[in-house]
A and B are shown apart, each in its own frame.
Chain A
Amino acid sequence: MRTLLFTAALLLGLSLIAPASKAQELTISLELPVIETAQYYRPYVAVWVEDDAQQSVRLIALWRKEPDWLKDIRRFWRKIGRSETELVDARTGATRTPGRYQLSWDGLDDAGKPLPAGEYTVFVEASREQGGRSLQRQSFQWGGTAQHYTQEAMPELGELKITLN
């Protein structure tokens, strides 16, 4: 019953917000750089979207292991991790080796509801044991025209490419 209602709400939302046009999608291309060090541990990484009041609306990805070090993804921890236990569990994935990864966002919030058009910011945060922490952020207009952004590489994150179709 819950699923049925949810689906109905979703269909209703979609029909109101994106009539007859192809659905907008945000594509996030991030890179975990190769880091030469004596003791390399894969970074803990979080990717999420905040609204213009700096409230998280959607956790997109979380690559991590032990809970002890979750707090070290500092902004993620404050905005989401410390209070959204179920969401954290649901989005948790394994840590990744260096390389380029592509993620996408469909404009839905964590509850699956479509968000209104407006300014949002995507965050990518990486924290590495015995290493550093990098935070990349890029604001964009959801519901606006096609956009493309790049953010320069940081010590723990390669160049970030954001595309809104």
Chain B
Amino acid sequence: MKNIIAATLLALCSSAATAHTLWVLPSHFVLSSEDSWISVDLSAANMTFVADRGVSPNNLTIVFPDGERHAFAQSYQGKRKSQADHQLTMDGTYRIELAGPARYFTFFQQDGQRRRIAANKQERSAQLPANASEVLTTRSRSRALSFVSVNAPNQTALALSKEGLELKLLTHPADVVATEPVRWQFMLDGKPVADVQVELSREGELYRDDAGRELLSSDAQGYLTFTPQEAGRYVLEASVQLDSTDALTDRVRESLTLTFEAALP
């Protein structure tokens, strides 16, 4: 049973094709005191911010306002949620990121069975059995992100890596306010990507009949625009699956969650 859960969580970290949503939830999004500590919860669950399964904090990092990436000072993997703490020693915006490297799998049919090997398009020919058919290589990756600002926000930690699915945060996360429009842009490997499917959910689903989730998608230029109606904490969950002409893969599967707060107007 333990192995099944471990395998499930591994899959969660590498694939969008699962019911559970992986998120990071910082104790604060906005701080006004120097050298504040931040505590971050990590969990994978169906209901927004109702923790279900603690995930490994091994791939959790924090990018400081100067662009330097740090491991968390301490972390703990719990049954329902994991937690990590770090001290924020400078002013500006920090990026909290739970993300591993992209993983490549090659799927194929052999003797009537569907099988897979951990190999990219260049590695696969040496490993595939001679009678393999319907060969398809996928690159998959998931990221869970959140941003915290101490005193004046800045832009450095918002910079894109140009690898995989990312959000260009045209509206700074510290400027998201209930009833005011937000404009972000989805990028895949550094280029705008259309038709990214987005589900937007708000905390407190357990205590209302209508979860009120919004289904959105990015436009032809990758832009996502929405107006959070209520102040509170939200999860934006996005995924995209596309055929690729990349040298290493036939298909790209990417997912991203962003936890953010809409402030009171």
Binding partners A and B = yes
Name the one of B31, B36, B149, B264 contacting A75, with C-beta atoms under 8 angstroms. B264
How many Å from the CB of B84 to the closest CB on chain A? Answer: 21
B151 near A85: Cβ-Cβ < 8 Å: yes
Shortest Cβ distance from residue B136 to the other chain A in the assembled complex, whole angstroms:
48
Residues of A within 8 A of B152 (CB): 82-83, 85
SS class of chain A's interface: helix, strand, loop or mixed?
Answer: helix
Q: Residue of A at shortest CB range from B153? A: A82
Give residues of chain B (236-262) contacting chain A, Cβ–Cβ below 8 Å: none
Contacts of B36 in A (CB 8 A): 68
If the complex has contacts A78-B174, A85-B151, are A133 and B32 also in contact, measured as CB distance less than 8 A? Answer: no
The listed residue (B30, B34, B174, B264) touching A133 by CB distance below 8 A is B264
B144 CB-CB contact with A under 8 Å: no
* In the complex, chain B residues whose CB is within 8 Å of the CB of A74: 263-264
* Binary CB contact string for chain A from 70 to 106 against chain B (1 if under 8 A, 0 otherwise): 1100110110011101000000000000000000000
Contact A69 B32 (CB under 8 A): yes
Chain A residues near B177 (CB-CB < 8 A): 78
A116 proximal to B (CB < 8 A): no
Bound-state CA distance A68–B35 (Å) is: 11
Q: How far is the CB of A86 from chain B (nearest CB, A)?
A: 12
* CB–CB A83/B174 < 8 A: no
CB atoms of A82 and B151 under 8 A apart: yes
| B112 contacts the other chain (CB 8 A) | no
- Minimum distance in angstroms from B152 CB to a CB of chain A: 4
CA distance A133 to B177 in the complex (A): 16
A67 within 8 A of B: yes
- The answer to whether B263 touches A78, judged by C-beta atoms less than 8 angstroms apart, is yes
Question: Any chain A CB within 8 A of the CB of B265?
Answer: yes
Give CA–CA (A85, B150) in the complex, Å: 12
Q: Which among B32, B151, B174, B177 has the greatest number of chain A C-beta atoms within 10 A?
A: B32
Tally of B interface residues using CB under 8 Å: 16
Nearest-neighbour CB distance to chain A for B240, whole angstroms, equals: 32
A78 contacts B175, C-beta separation under 8 Å: yes
A75, B265: Cβ atoms under 8 Å? yes
Residues of B within 8 A of A75 (CB): 264-265
Complex CA–CA separation, A140 to B109 (angstroms): 73
Q: At the interface, yes or no: B33 with Cβ under 8 Å from chain A?
A: yes
The interface residues of chain A lying within 8 Å CB-to-CB of B31 are 71
In the bound assembly, the distance between CA atoms of A66 and B36 in angstroms comes to 13
**Per-position binary interface string of chain A over residues 38-68, scored 1 when its CB falls under 8 Å from any chain B CB and 0 otherwise:** 0000000000000000000000000000111
Q: How far is the CB of A29 from chain B (nearest CB, A)?
A: 24
Chain B window 24-51, contacts with chain A (Cβ cutoff 8 Å), 1 for yes, 0 for no: 0000001111101000000000000000
The residue from B33, B263, B265 contacting A68, defined by CB atoms under 8 A apart: B33
A107 to chain B, nearest CB (A): 26
Interface residues of B in 140-188 (CB under 8 A from A): 149, 151-153, 174-175, 177
Q: Which B residues are within 8 Å of any A CB, using their own CB? A: 30-34, 36, 149, 151-153, 174-175, 177, 263-265
- 4 tightest Cβ-Cβ pairs between the two chains A and B: A71-B32, A83-B152, A70-B32, A68-B33
A-B CB contact pairs (8 Å), 17 listed: A66-B33, A67-B33, A67-B34, A68-B33, A69-B32, A71-B30, A71-B31, A71-B32, A74-B263, A74-B264, A82-B30, A82-B151, A82-B152, A82-B153, A83-B151, A83-B152, A135-B264
Known: A78-B263, A83-B151, A135-B265. 15 other contacts (CB 8 A): A67-B32, A67-B33, A68-B32, A70-B32, A71-B31, A75-B265, A77-B30, A77-B32, A78-B175, A82-B32, A82-B149, A82-B152, A82-B153, A82-B174, A85-B152
